[in-house]
Structure 1
Amino acid sequence: MFLCLKRATAACVLTTAGAVALAACGAPDAPRAVTAPAPAVTAPSRPPTLAPGPGGLTPVFVKAAGARDRTVALTFDADMTADQGPRAAAGERFDNPRLIRTLRRLKVPATVFMTGRWAEEYPRQARAIGRDPLFEVANHSYSHHAFTEDCYGLPTVPASGMRADVERAFTAFRAAGIEHPMPYFRFPGGCYDQRALKALSGTGVTAVQWDVVSGDAFATDADAVARQVLDGVRPGSVVVMHCTRSAAPATEEALRTIVPELRERGYRFVKVSELI
């Protein structure tokens, strides 16, 4: 995933309860039937999302504006485009298990924006991330093709196929065993326009951008990545990073500097859902 400077802003729990009738039968002097309420069953609460924009446009979240407490969300894009299967078969690694292990070791909550193609290539890893309460999985499209023209050389999804591409990613998540993907979407390359926002209207997703660019894409200097993040973070920030070994080889090492330093400054790491 590459970076784009376009930004936009936008600013139930259901419970079910049943009753179980315990019927008595037999002799005339048998006790009367007793009706006892079943324990209340609470459905999982819907993750927080932003209200649609004017005309029902897909809302866009950039950061927690006006946040007073020192919270920061580290987000990681698990990128793999639809046509990179042969490269993976030849040995290129689009995953980064070591980075995930480091997040677990440091107990850092994080949001992973995953492409459907990545989930298909690494289903066991996708399932493990999706079932780990430390993480949440969100949608980064199926194909990692751009939703606008001229987006860092990425192939382009036609407007007529944008919604289907997002829905196909959710289908790939379910097939991999991710039971509760979040209703958040990150545009490939971060590139979007009014046409893209309109195309995704009605999907129920909130588009999630960022205010801190880590610069880890294709970077080999972990110290430089760490400095860029540490210089940019403010209360309520969303940091964009990557968890692909081939495209972001320095990210895991940079994390080992970023996390303790931000904690020393009093920051608490949260998932995007908590910021929203």
Structure 2
Amino acid sequence: MGLGKEANLEHYSRRWALKTGSLGLGALAAAVVSGCSTGGPAERAGSASASAMASPSPTATASPRPTASLQTVYPSRSQVMEKFKNVPAGQFGLEVPGIELGLPKGNAAAALTFDACGGPRGSGVDGALLDALRAKQVPATLFVNERWARANAPLMDELVSDELFEIANHGTSHAPLATSGQAAYGIGGTESIGQAYDEVMGNQRYLADQFGITAKFFRSGTAHMDEAGAAMCRDLGVVPMNFTVNLDAGATFGAQAVAAQVRQLAAGDVGIGHFNQPASGTAKGVALGLGQVLDSGLRFTTLSAAW
């Protein structure tokens, strides 16, 4: 089941080294966020956000927009600050205790997850990737940052209405979820439990208010959290979720490398990619890799359907 069974960096090294040549684990880990936080290929190519581009083709049968439960009650900021005021930050990283990596034990499917991080260099839309998933009827969980959702509101309406996709929370400002300012790849994290609360709940409430979504899963900017931040997520009723297989190294891999990573997926795995960099190799690589994987009998699920 991937890291769901063996949560260690050796597993990441085995998975990531297959098609990466001399590129080390540290460089690959840093590349997780390059599709969001550094000048990605979409921006270098002058790509526009969804508001200025053709929308990807919707599925033929779209379900009505879900309605967030008005009964959803979250602990208040002050309540969380009081509860966690003496809780140490603990470990900080991609796979600290409390973060889910793979699917729950016994799952026969795998899950594809794709991040959209927002901001000046991360608000594009990979319509070809969405079309490829729809063409093959492969479900995916889309982790959406508030900035991206605001920049792509019409497309958000479409994605929310498409039963093939689940929308999850990728944070408010795309910061690492920390309680004492820990940084990842030079990106400063939230500096207190109060700021961590705002990073999760700002977007959680925005998704509910604007799109009727109660997100069940959270992935922080850079995918880094500390133990206190992960515990806070669970206290808020959202699952802190990372991954077992890095599909596109922050939208920096070419199509063949992405396809090779997709082919490594097995039952219980969770793959991470990006759907905000249309000039990347992600769409073509996912389409190439899925053909062989689906032929092998592996099926895919959204995260919620697996929990």
Same fold (TM over 0.5): yes
* Structure 1 position 269, deviation (Å): 1.2
Aligned partner letter, 1:107: Q
Deviation of 1:66 (Å): 3.9
Instruction: State the Cα distance separating 1:3 from its structure 2 match.
Output: 3.5
Alignment-derived partner of residue 60 in structure 1: 99
- Aligned-partner residue type, residue 268 of structure 1: R
Per-residue CA deviations over 1:173-204 (Å, capped at 9, x if unaligned) read: 2354x223331111221211123124435211
What SS is found at the alignment partner of 2:286?
Answer: helix
Structure 1 residues 203-247: Cα deviation after superposition (integer angstroms, max 9, x where no partner)? 11111111111134242511011112313x12111101110116x
The secondary structure found in structure 1 opposite 2:173 is coil
- Distance verdict in 2 for CA 1:274–1:144, change over 3 Å: same
2:125 maps to which of 67, 92, 95: 95
> Matched residues in 1 for 2:226 and 2:255: separation?
32
Partner of 1:37: none
Structure 2's unaligned 5+ residue stretches are 1-29, 34-67, 72-82, 88-96
- Name the structure with the higher strand share: 1
Pick the aligned partner of 2:208 from 152, 155, 174.
Answer: 174
Aligned letter for 1:171? R
TM-score normalised by length of structure 1: 0.70
**Alignment correspondent of 1:229:** 262
Q: 2:243 aligns with which of 203, 206, 210?
A: 210
| Structure 1 pair 218–201 and aligned structure 2 pair: CA distance change class (3 A) | closer
Deviations 1:21-74 (A, max 9, x none): xxxxxxxxxxxxxxxxxxxxxx98x9xxxxxxxx999943221354363x1100
Please identify, of 252-261 and 214-223, the stretch whose mean Cα deviation from structure 2 is larger: 214-223
Q: Which amino acid aligns with 1:173?
A: L
- Cα–Cα, structure 1 residues 93 and 204, in superposed 2: closer, same or farther, change >3 Å? closer
CA distance in 1: counterparts of 2:130 and 2:117, whole angstroms: 15
Q: Which amino acid aligns with 1:127?
A: D
Residue 165 of structure 1 and its aligned partner are, at CA, apart by 1.8
Q: TM-score, normalised by structure 2?
A: 0.64
Distance 1:201 1:270, change over 3 A: closer
**Shift of the alpha carbon at 1:93?**
4.9
Alignment of 1:135 with 2:173, yes or no, is: no
Aligned partners of 1:79, 1:192: CA distance in 2, in Å? 16
Hey, what's the Cα distance between the residues in 2 that align with 1:104 and 1:240? 18
1:143, distance to aligned residue in structure 2 (A): 0.6
- Structure 2 distance, partners of 1:157, 1:2, is 21
- Answering whether residue 74 of structure 2 is matched by residue 74 of structure 1, we say no
User: Structure 1 residues 66, 164: closer, same or farther in 2, change over 3 A?
Assistant: closer
Aligned residues, how many?
217
1:3 corresponds to which residue? 32
How much is the aligned-residue C-alpha RMSD, in angstroms? 2.8
